[in-house]
Structure 1
């Protein structure tokens, strides 16, 4: 059935749970950095499925890998290993720098990877505290939600996992909170859902020093920042530190659901057989897709492209000279546009009307997370449309 966008919206609201807002439109096809809705309208996609579609849409490398794998073997259960699973684990240990002492646990999503991280923290000190940051986001399952530093998201589902403490993102708060009674600190290197908010200079390095001193784990949520998004493979690499564990998802699969927990050094020995598991995590279809995506990012220099195009985008947005633009945040192709007025919803709505997809994580921020493949033509079109959206909302 080929319905209109309006018809699909009606069918959506009559069938889907009430946790979802009404959809903005109904997308039916994508190619590169473009998508089309059910009415045939074309959009420039500068959200990329919220930092997921690293290779854009319908990339031939991903299409071929998934098609080949699903025609070979798609699922076997975790009683067995498969070649793409082992290959992806080896690739992640190489790219993260975890090396021979590192280990990988595969999940189906970012929130599941963070659930594994909560259990890893408990293994490092079952009755100790886990520290997380205010205004952070780590997922919506019960353990990941306990880490999430947004009261409005947590309160309807309390009581959550106990012994999680949230602190402000300052070095002073970090120093005051850490002690022998802490098992782990969980940190987003850049707070994506908060509006792409950077941590203070030196925060991650100090967190590394303090967790080492007190025997706590430093766990970094790289779900939104990983896989080349910020112009390096993983955001912590820019800081010159080595964490105890990182969680990954989103861009790693390029649109195919896959997540991972990667451990470093001594943290790799904390789980023993039977202490965690999943039916679908690490299945050959998802891991074949992730291998294809990460392989293409590496082969085509898309990490470097993210750094280059991110700088180009920042310069172009600054050159607009809009009185609405207060600041630019983030790194690489994870960019937060801070606004001088609470009109982010109006900007994104007008952008959508013009054929541009961006996101308003809060009332005064616009989030940009386009595919890592963008070039001059996509940036030029973005600037034209974004300028018009800003002008209409000023």
Structure 2
């Protein structure tokens, strides 16, 4: 919500562009840019002036115009089933935004804070956003979220009106302390250095005739099966019999979600893989 307000304030525009099968939240503005009509139609009318492009389709960048305040994308699409940007896609989006004066907002609520092996996923794809949105792993389990931008853009919230964006619990000291501790642990224990090897260990173990594909960016992973009808009993057994917390993706219900903590050990990975393979059987 804050990122949308900031983009509109900075550009003086109202148009918004996001991706089909994106998920940005369930509050009014975030729901408006979420790319699934099934999640939205019970709550219409929502924000006007929202267009949806197909992720990774360069032809759809024409939807970004001089009326666009912001383009909001997940750096790695999460609820679409872990879809990575193709080479050159995000730089092309960045270039188009710059050409027309729109802001690029990257939603890293799922893929930020080291989940993909770098502090921010966008570091791997050759772009820098104008506004960055983060949460989830930011708090190490405590509730906290943020949107980040340059002083030149954030200054728009200082006047007319004063306190242009504020929240009742924003900056709560306990959540902020938890977030600082999380960041310190990530850095001091060099957790990012182990993400690639841990992801590779998971991929190496997840081999079964029923598995159609494994997609991942670091420790954000989707294991695809033929259908939801095949997947649902596997999830039920993983939860009830193996003690493995997993589910499917909102917009990709034939894929199982794997997103372990960055602190997961090799022994825990091996135990989880063994349990998942038993659940598949």
TM-score, scaled relative to structure 1? 0.67
Residue 245 (structure 2) aligned to one of 357, 361, 370: 357
Moved over 6 A (4+): none
1:163 aligns with 2:49: yes
* Aligned residue number for residue 263 of structure 2: 373
* Aligned residue number for residue 385 of structure 1: 275
Residue 192 (structure 2) aligned to one of 277, 282, 303: 303
1:200 aligns with 2:90: no
Report the secondary structure of 1:132's partner residue.
Answer: strand
Superposition pairs of residues 63-82 of structure 1, within 5 angstroms: none
* Aligned residue number for residue 68 of structure 1: none
* CA-CA distance at 1:388 after TM superposition: 0.9
CA contact (8 A) 1:252 1:258 kept: yes
* CA-CA distance at 1:226 after TM superposition: 0.6
Q: Which runs of 5+ in 2 are unaligned?
A: none
Superposition pairs of residues 49-198 of structure 1, within 5 angstroms: 115-198=1-84
Superposition pairs of residues 189-228 of structure 1, within 5 angstroms: 189-228=75-114
User: For 1:183-202, what per-residue CA distance to the aligned partner results, in whole angstroms no more than 9, with x for missing partners?
Assistant: 11000011212222223332
* CA-CA distance at 1:180 after TM superposition: 1.0
Which protein, 1 or 2, shows the higher relative CO under an 8 Å CA cutoff with sep ≥ 6?
1
Report the secondary structure of 2:46's partner residue.
Answer: coil
Report the secondary structure of 2:18's partner residue.
Answer: strand
The aligned length equals 274
1:287 aligns with 2:176: yes
CA contact (8 A) 1:324 1:341 kept: no
Q: Distance in 2 between matches of 1:150 and 1:265?
A: 33
* Aligned residue number for residue 278 of structure 1: 167
* CA-CA distance at 1:358 after TM superposition: 1.3
User: For 1:328-371, what per-residue CA distance to the aligned partner results, in whole angstroms no more than 9, with x for missing partners?
Assistant: 11211110112133322111101112222211124310011111
Report the secondary structure of 1:197's partner residue.
Answer: coil
* Aligned residue number for residue 344 of structure 1: 231
Q: Distance in 2 between matches of 1:265 and 1:241?
A: 19
User: For 1:52-85, what per-residue CA distance to the aligned partner results, in whole angstroms no more than 9, with x for missing partners?
Assistant: xxxxxxxxxxxxxxxxxxxxxxxxxxxxxxxxxx
Q: Distance in 2 between matches of 1:170 and 1:306?
A: 25
User: For 1:189-239, what per-residue CA distance to the aligned partner results, in whole angstroms no more than 9, with x for missing partners?
Assistant: 112122222233322111111111111100000000011000100000111
CA contact (8 A) 2:58 2:92 kept: no
* CA-CA distance at 1:123 after TM superposition: 0.9
CA contact (8 A) 1:230 1:306 kept: yes
Q: Distance in 1 between matches of 2:157 and 2:96?
A: 23
* CA-CA distance at 1:267 after TM superposition: 2.4
Q: Distance in 1 between matches of 2:236 and 2:179?
A: 33
Q: Distance in 1 between matches of 2:106 and 2:143?
A: 20
Q: Distance in 2 between matches of 1:173 and 1:155?
A: 27
Q: Distance in 2 between matches of 1:284 and 1:148?
A: 30
Q: Which runs of 5+ in 1 are unaligned?
A: 1-114
CA contact (8 A) 2:6 2:154 kept: no
* Aligned residue number for residue 91 of structure 1: none
CA contact (8 A) 1:121 1:130 kept: no
Q: Structure 2 vs 1, CA of residues 151 and 290 (structure 1 numbering), >3 Å: closer, same or farther?
A: same
* CA-CA distance at 1:265 after TM superposition: 5.9
Report the secondary structure of 1:311's partner residue.
Answer: helix
TM-score, scaled relative to structure 2? 0.93
* CA-CA distance at 1:175 after TM superposition: 2.3
CA contact (8 A) 1:133 1:149 kept: yes
